[in-house]
Amino acid sequence: MSNTPRILAFAGSTREASFNKKLVQIAAAGAKAAGAEVTYIDLRDFPLPLYDGDLEAAEGLPDNARKLKALMLAHQGLLIASPEYNSSISGVLKNTIDWISRPENNDEPPLACYANKVAAIMSASPGGFGGMRGLVIVRSLLENIKVMVIPDQVAVPKAFEVFNEDGTLKDSKQQAAVEQLGSKVAITLAKLA
């Protein structure tokens, strides 16, 4: 590809042994195989206070929100694996989205780090639905902040028993489906370039 797509990959979990961290790295491998440059980040490395408008007014964006915004602005695509917390999304994912949606100055267009991004979403969960209920929320949220979310998504149930020790999925069809999420984002971005 002449214009190499840049994709940011992360999970909405800070847990060290997160199933969703494993899952998004499979999608990242699919994006790389399709010719994209992928940056994987761990939100554990970017701790943020709970979003508070008064804190923002007094101190501006926290340093980690600025770092995340810079990363987001430097990439055209997103791969997001979202754990399901009580039929919704994790607090860490929502808080991250909220902080980096905030403008750093009056000249910054609204939702600058989300507008025109292409994303794929996925989830792994110990439950039988694989996080599907949470993905409905993630899709709605991202689309409302100007992200184009591809129609395909993957929800992996019984996550405690589906991964190999190397982080791949035991089911080759599931593995291929997750890799294809990354590939589709890369291909879509290349076509849009």
Q: Are 38 and 136 in contact (CB under 8 A)?
A: no
Q: How much is the mean pLDDT over the chain?
A: 96
- The residues, ordered by sequence, that sit 6+ positions from 75 with a Cβ below 8 Å of its Cβ are 6, 7, 8, 39, 117
Beta strand 88-89 with 148-156: parallel, antiparallel or unpaired? unpaired
> Does residue 86 sit within a domain?
yes
pLDDT in tens, 18-49: 999 999 999 999 999 999 999 999 999 999 99
Tell me the residue ranges of DSSP E strands in 73-191.
77-81, 84-85, 88-89, 118-124, 148-156
Instruction: Answer yes or no: is pLDDT of 94 > 80.
Output: yes
Specify the residue for token string 């291929």: 176
pLDDT at residue 193 in the model: 86
| Closest-CA residue to 68 (of 28, 31, 26, 39) | 39
pLDDT at residue 2 in the model: 54
How many independent structural domains does the chain possess?
A: 1
> Does residue 1 sit within a domain?
no
Phi, psi for 125 (deg, rounded to 5): -150, 150
DSSP secondary structure letter of residue 33: H
Rounded mean pLDDT of 140-163?
97
pLDDT in tens, 52-70: 999 999 999 999 999 999 9
Rounded mean pLDDT of 142-163?
97
> Does residue 95 sit within a domain?
yes
- What is the value of pTM for the model shown? 0.96
Instruction: Answer yes or no: is pLDDT of 84 > 50.
Output: yes
- The residues, ordered by sequence, that sit 6+ positions from 97 with a Cβ below 8 Å of its Cβ are 141, 145
pLDDT at residue 1 in the model: 39
Phi, psi for 77 (deg, rounded to 5): -130, 160
What distance in Å separates the CA atoms of residue 190 and residue 193, rounded to the nearest whole number? Answer: 5
- The residues, ordered by sequence, that sit 6+ positions from 137 with a Cβ below 8 Å of its Cβ are 88, 89
Provide the residue range defining the domain that includes 159: 6-192
What distance in Å separates the CA atoms of residue 35 and residue 125, rounded to the nearest whole number? Answer: 29
Tell me, rounded to whole angstroms, the distance of Cα 20 from its chain centroid. Answer: 10
Q: What is the CATH number of the domain that holds 89?
A: 3.40.50.360
Using 50, 70 and 90 to split pLDDT, how confident is the model at 3?
confident
3-class SS letters over 36-86: CEEEECCHHHCCCCCCCHHHHHHHCCCHHHHHHHHHHHCCCEEEEECCEEC
